[in-house]
Structure 1
Amino acid sequence: MARTIQSLERAAAVLRLLAGGERRLGLSDIASAIGLAKATAHGLLRTLQQEGFVEQDPVSGRYQLGAELLRLGNSYLDVHELRARALVWTDDLARASGESAYLGVLHQRGVLIVHHVFRPDDSRQVLEVGAMRPLHSTALGKVLAAYDPVAHNEALEGDFAAITEQTVTDPAAFERDLERVRSRGWASETGETWEGVASIAAPIMDRRRMPVGAVGITGAEERVCPDGALSPRLIAAVRDCARAVSRDLGAGRF
């Protein structure tokens, strides 16, 4: 019989305990429940905390499951499946909006473009599938940071680099922006990543109403923001697309 790795077995026991018992447990409770010395249990918890699998309440000192488990829990939804579900809807979004449509997911502290539909005109365009975009300056990134705890943490741990003069570089201002995103259900950016370019994006949810990606459009400011304000028609088109893909993933109405 192949030998098992004891430290991994113990870490798994800690996670199962936190998943199946009370919402938060203290160090003594955890150590006692799985038959470990406090020092050993504390070492496991510290490692799990560093990896994002466990969080410690700063007031009580008790432990609970961390946000990184959300990422692993959603791993059943393969990116290719997400892209396949979104194909028709993003084609419709590009056609209805007259702008380029993008599908993005969280990856390595940024937004990975997993699908790109060209703007439906005769202009020369470059396929951007596989490109990485910042979390703090793009509409897609703001949506992910607003709804996904892991993306939120990764955005705040970033350097908030000033890409253009319009880029938000203050974490407090970024947090206020995310509050607006959550209250209205969509994100936007105007000239924060590319001068003269504006974007609108909305979240895609799975059957558990957890965020698995974001969909949006990008185009010249004069088209996306006629008369200096974001087009309500384009906002509605993006939100309708996000809802349609989410429904295909089992999210129901939201």
Structure 2
Amino acid sequence: MAVSDAGLTGRQPKAVQSALAVLECVARMGAGVTAREVAESLSLPPATAYRLLNLLVGEEYLVRLPDLRGFALGRKVAGLAGAIAPVRVPSAARAVLAELRAEVRAGVHLVLYTATTLRVADLDPDLPLQDPAAVERYLHATAAGRLLLAEQPEWRDLLPPSRLTRCTPATVTKPDQLDACLADVRAQGWAAQTGELHGGVGCAVAPVRSPDGELVAGVVVSGRVDVREPPTCVQEGARALAGLLA
């Protein structure tokens, strides 16, 4: 079906070009670039640069950094890049996952993290996730997403409360309730949820961290059961993956 351009004015293409230029500027100058730096680099009025930056944040192409002093690429950009460049998981890491899948009576999957995004990198071929794209999108409703949100000094900078979508009747959509869930994740060191993304489906995730503690990946266990925490073997597998993925 063709997209109608009814109502498209002569000024709107220029606005689109300006927004893309801002996005390219942030990518070129790197995380932490300020609105003032963007405005100066592109010779834009400061108010225009700030408006475009806020627009791109609202659409999840950019994110504000936790200290509110600059901007970085958001998860939609990572999703676009991921659609072009396939994720490559080392064969040694795939061997660890294969061993876990033989031991755990549930789906076992690998997700990879950046500071602001997650991507499902290796699905269990026998027990795949019902909707990997939803896992990447609805961070508040999945164990993998909550593990990422719990890393943020202020999760609202990454996921505005207006985007706490109700996926099922069980989904946590109130900011104070999500605050409590994320506090539990930090205390436990792992995340779990049941029935919040898909009814009757639960998942738990064990973090894979670099030597300096940075979250780089997670081993997700999913199934049509109440998954209360990652099994011990999965937590041990996540530690084994640290040396292969960090």
Report TM bin, short chain: 0.5 to 0.7
Change (3 A) 1:162 1:249: closer
* 1:51 corresponds to: 56
* 1:216 corresponds to: 220
Q: Which moved more, 1:147-156 or 1:96-105?
A: 147-156
Aligned to 2:123, the other structure's residue is in SS state strand
Aligned to 2:140, the other structure's residue is in SS state coil
Counterparts of 1:49 and 1:154, CA distance in 2:
14
* 1:241 corresponds to: 237
Report whether the alignment pairs 1:188 with 2:210.
no
Q: Which moved more, 1:130-139 or 1:177-186?
A: 130-139
Aligned to 2:171, the other structure's residue is in SS state coil
Please give the root-mean-square deviation of Cα atoms over the aligned residues, in Å.
Answer: 4.8
- Superposed displacement of residue 137, structure 1: 2.3
* 2:123 corresponds to: 116
Unmatched 5+ stretches in structure 2? 1-16
Counterparts of 1:174 and 1:99, CA distance in 2:
26
* 2:106 corresponds to: 99
Counting only pairs closer than 5 Å after superposition, residues 32-51 of structure 1 correspond to structure 2 as 34=40, 40-51=45-56
Tell me which structure has the larger Cα radius of gyration.
1
Report whether the alignment pairs 1:87 with 2:94.
yes
8 Å CA contact 1:146–1:182 kept in 2: the answer is yes
Change (3 A) 1:50 1:246: farther
Spell out, residue by residue over 1:133-156, the C-alpha distance to the aligned partner (whole angstroms, 9 max, x if none): 332222222223323678972374
Counterparts of 1:43 and 1:176, CA distance in 2:
38
Counterparts of 1:14 and 1:116, CA distance in 2:
29
8 Å CA contact 2:111–2:122 kept in 1: the answer is yes
- Superposed displacement of residue 175, structure 1: 1.9
The percentage of counterpart residues that share the same residue type is 20
Aligned to 1:154, the other structure's residue is in SS state coil
Counterparts of 1:174 and 1:163, CA distance in 2:
15
Counterparts of 1:207 and 1:71, CA distance in 2:
28
- Superposed displacement of residue 101, structure 1: 0.5
Equivalent of 1:200 in 198, 201, 204: 204
Count of residue pairs brought into register by the alignment: 217
Structure 1 length as normaliser, TM-score?
A: 0.59
* 1:169 corresponds to: 173
8 Å CA contact 2:191–2:204 kept in 1: the answer is yes
Report whether the alignment pairs 1:142 with 2:146.
yes
Counterparts of 1:219 and 1:13, CA distance in 2:
40
Aligned to 1:217, the other structure's residue is in SS state strand
Change (3 A) 1:19 1:72: same
Spell out, residue by residue over 1:154-196, the C-alpha distance to the aligned partner (whole angstroms, 9 max, x if none): 37442431514x3323221012101221232210113334454
Change (3 A) 1:13 1:190: closer
Equivalent of 1:132 in 108, 131, 134: 134
8 Å CA contact 1:135–1:145 kept in 2: the answer is yes
